[in-house]
Structure formats: C-alpha cells, structure tokens
Structure 1
Amino acid sequence: MEIWSDVVCPWCYIGKRRFESALRDFEHADDVEVVWRSFELDPTAVSVTERAAGPSDAHARRLAAKFGRPVQEVQRMVAHVDETAAAEGLEFHQDVSVPANTVAAHQLLHLAGERGVQGAVKERLLRAHFTEGEPLGDVDTLVRLAAEAGLDADEARAVLAEDRYLADVRADVAEASALGARGVPFFVVDRRYGVSGAQPAEQFLQVLQRAWAESRPLTLVGDGSADGACGPDGCAI
C-alpha cells in the first residue's frame, strides 16, 4: 500500500485514521506493507518558524485569501473538518496551526522509511501540526519531532542540511501525477487499485480484500485428477 499525502493536509490525517481502521479489520493486516509517499500541497509555501501566540482566526483568513472565499464561510468549512476529524478520534486545533513548507518534513519521512520508523514519524508530524501547533517549517522543531519518533537527531539534521532526499521527494510528486492523482490523500494498492480521498473505512477494507484475493493463486483441493469433469476433448467416464 503506497499512500501519497502531505503533513499539513487535514484530509490526509483523517484518511490515515480511516485506513488504519480498515486495516484493523483486515485479516491479513500483518502482510500489508505501508509506504508513505511525498506530496506537496503548496511547494511555494513560506514557513513560519514560531508557534502561534494562541488561538485566532489567522488560519481561516489565510485560507480565505488563498481561495477567494469569505472568512466566515471558511471558518464553517474548517469547523466541519474538525468535527469530521473528531469522529475519527483525532483532536484538531487548526486555529493554532502554523504555515509550513513541507519539503523538509518529506525528506525526513524518506529517511524514516530507510530506518524502519516511517509510520511513527508520519504520525508524529501530523499530530504536531494539527493538534499541537508545532512549526513544521523550523529545522530544530523537525529534528526534535523526528527524534521523538525514533530517528537519530544528528542524522536527521544532516539530512536536512544536505537536502539528501530532495530528489526522492520530487520523484514521488512526479509519480503521483503520472498515476493520475489530482489531490491527496491518494492510496495505491499493488499498483492495481487507486483510492482518492479520505474514503470510509469500509471502502478501504473492500479494496484490501479484493487486492488480496487477486494476488493469491487458486489452491486446488484433491489429487488434481480430471475425474468427474469435462474438457475440450470430452468428459471423463
């Protein structure tokens, strides 16, 4: 299972929880490998490197300016997303979220993939942004969060200083486009099935079950003889 998403995308966090819910009900969950792929919602975003002073309407105003919508309308949209997140067991505080360019965060996720802690780092970064209001565009903050999730702090800092995985991030973004993704989250199973958006857990479960069934050869029961069967050359007697 490959999942393209961004760490400042609310539906990506909601979709992650819904997929995890489906995975808990999937009888072959232990055989599912999850790989988090990079996607930048706004590659031109400018990071704020300090926490917000406190809850405000700044987040809604930024979105209103970006999409040309009235602030009150955007505030209702944000509230709806927060309520949807709460239904999935998530605690959103978007009124203290901090704008961030996420290319550095995605580089750390590539490192985390090589070190076997990608899922933990992904979860930590999402929670940091949506629940805690951490500035994900700040290097010191990113290194601290990555270390909390299992990465070596010195290695994480070196990766960011060198832009070691920048080409990998760009490759993920390009691949998403090639696969037809127009937004995130975007889930791809065995490079056979694509699921766009934070769909209900039931749909994820159906896709997992179908992909599993199609990936396993039919097991013949019995001695393999053709007794009691018909074929192109006639029927067994």
Structure 2
Amino acid sequence: MSTTVQFVFDIPCVWSYFGFTRLRRALARFRADGGQADVVLLPFQLDPGASVEGEPKLQVLRRAFGADAEAAVTRITAMAAEEGLLFRHENAISSNSFEAHRLIAVAARQGLGEEMTERLFRAHHTDELNIADLDTLKTLAEETGVRWSHEGAEETRAALELVRNSGVRGVPVYRFAGRPPLTGAQAEQTLLAALTSAAQEHPHHL
C-alpha cells in the first residue's frame, strides 16, 4: 500500500500542531502495517504581516479573544496535555512563520521534512522560541540533522500562493489521494482510515 498525503498548516496554529501530531501517529501505524506514505508539507500563514521580531503571544491572544484569552489559554493547554504535548504561553513569541516554512522545504529535500516540522512546532509551542529568528532556525536545523541553506524562498512563496489560490482560508487541511479534503484537527483513527482507503483506491496518486 502506497499513497501521498498533503498537509497544509502553519506553525503557530495550535490546531495544526494537534493535527500534525495525530497525522504522524496515524502514519506510524500505517507504516508499521507495511504501508508507504509520502507527506507533502504545504505552507499557510495565518498572519503573513507578523514581524520577524515578533511580540508576546499572550498579547496577540488578548486581541483575538479579549477577556476570554486566559480561559482560552487554559483550555488549549489542557487539550495539549491530553495529546501528550506541553504548551507554554507566558513567554511565547508570535512572529512571522515564512522562514520556518522555508526551512521545512529545505529539510523536505533532505528527507527530513516531518522531523523539521515537529521540531518547529515544539520550538514555538513548548520552548517559547522565535521561529522567525535565523540564528534560532539554524540551531534547530542542526539539532534535527538538516543542512542549513538560504535557498527555497521563491519555492515557499509559490507554495503559499498555490495554497491561497486553492481556496484554503484556515488550517489544518489534509488532502488524501482521490478523497475530499479533511479540515481541522481530525482524530487519529479518521486519518488512519483515510490513509488506508487512499492507498487501496488510488495508489501512487495525488
């Protein structure tokens, strides 16, 4: 069984992190049963106007949720714990995710796209690092075994435009071969079923 899945996401998006975590668990089960799956990681920016320097994430959340911001943070942190993830918000930085997506494209060409994506999610949501800072990104690349490169900016811009032109307005989005797209933080079992069906019905086909 062999198939391809496209995953559209943004690093600062908590639902993308949940969705990616569940997708990787579904992929692990699929691959353990002999399945083969290529993951195409497609970028989306929830806030393309965010600065490289960034600002405190709590500030951004307060603008979005107002008086409910603290309750939202508590709720999301508890949900993350149920996924086995540790979320920290006190010193988290909300910044531009373009360079992080570019690094993922670089890593993908080296066969480490999934690993780099996971590390960047963790850097933002757990380690409270600025994922727009190049020195930080170089350190994360080295940790993950990715050879640093300044290439991929045009490729990333083109991918962002392609995703926007496809009608995506929120993330995460999963596209399995020959099946309608799935959106939101889908359950692991749902993703495993979609992988299996896609592999059986449309092998080697996007």
TM-score, normalisation: structure 1: 0.76
Residue 75 of structure 1 and its aligned partner are, at CA, apart by 1.4
Question: Are 1:118 and 2:113 an aligned pair?
Answer: yes
Structure 2 residue runs without a partner (length 5+): none
177 and 114 in structure 1: CA distance in 2 versus 1, 3 angstrom threshold: same
1:17 aligns to what? 21
- CA separation of 1:45/1:29 partners in 2, compared to 1, >3 Å: closer, same or farther? farther
Residue 91 of structure 1 and its aligned partner are, at CA, apart by 0.6
SS of the residue aligned with 1:35?
Answer: strand
Q: Report what 1:70 is aligned to.
A: 66
Please list the CA deviations of residues 126-178 of structure 1 after superposition, one character each: whole Å capped at 9, or x if unmatched.
Answer: 111111111112111111111111112xx43xx0xxxx322221222222233
Q: TM-score, normalised by structure 2?
A: 0.87
Residue of structure 2 aligned with 1:127, choices 122, 125, 129: 122
Question: Would the alpha carbon gap of residues 143 and 191 (structure 1) be closer, same or farther in structure 2, given more than 3 Å must change?
Answer: farther
User: For the Cα contact (< 8 Å) 2:50–2:94, is it kept in 1?
Assistant: yes
**1:201 pairs with 2:188:** yes
CA distance in 2: counterparts of 1:190 and 1:28, whole angstroms: 19
Distance 1:29 1:70 in 2: 48
Contact kept in structure 2, 1:120 and 1:150, CA below 8 Å: no
Higher relative contact order (CA 8 A, sep 6+): 2
What residue is the counterpart of 1:8 in the other structure? 12
Give the distance between the partners of 2:73 and 2:8, measured in 1 at CA.
22
In the TM superposition, residue 193 of structure 1 has moved relative to its aligned partner by 3.2
CA RMSD of aligned residues (A): 2.0
Aligned residue for 2:175?
Answer: 188
CA distances 1:74-112 after superposition (whole Å, capped 9, x unpaired): 111122111111111111112221121111111111111
Aligned pairs (5 A) from 1:1-237: 1-26=5-30, 28=33, 30-48=35-53, 58-65=56-63, 67=64, 69-71=65-67, 73-152=68-147, 155-156=148-149, 159=150, 164-190=151-177, 192-215=179-202
Whichever structure has more strand as a proportion of its residues is 2
Tell me if the contact between 1:3 and 1:36 (Cα under 8 Å) persists in the aligned partners: yes
Amino acid at match of 1:78: V
The Cα shift of 1:196 comes to: 0.7
Closer/same/farther in 2, CA of residues 200 and 117 from structure 1, 3 Å limit: same
Larger radius of gyration: 1
Partner SS state of residue 85, structure 2: coil
SS of alignment partner, residue 70 of structure 1: helix
* Residue 28 of structure 1: how far off its partner (Å): 4.8
Deviation at 1:215, TM superposition (A): 2.0
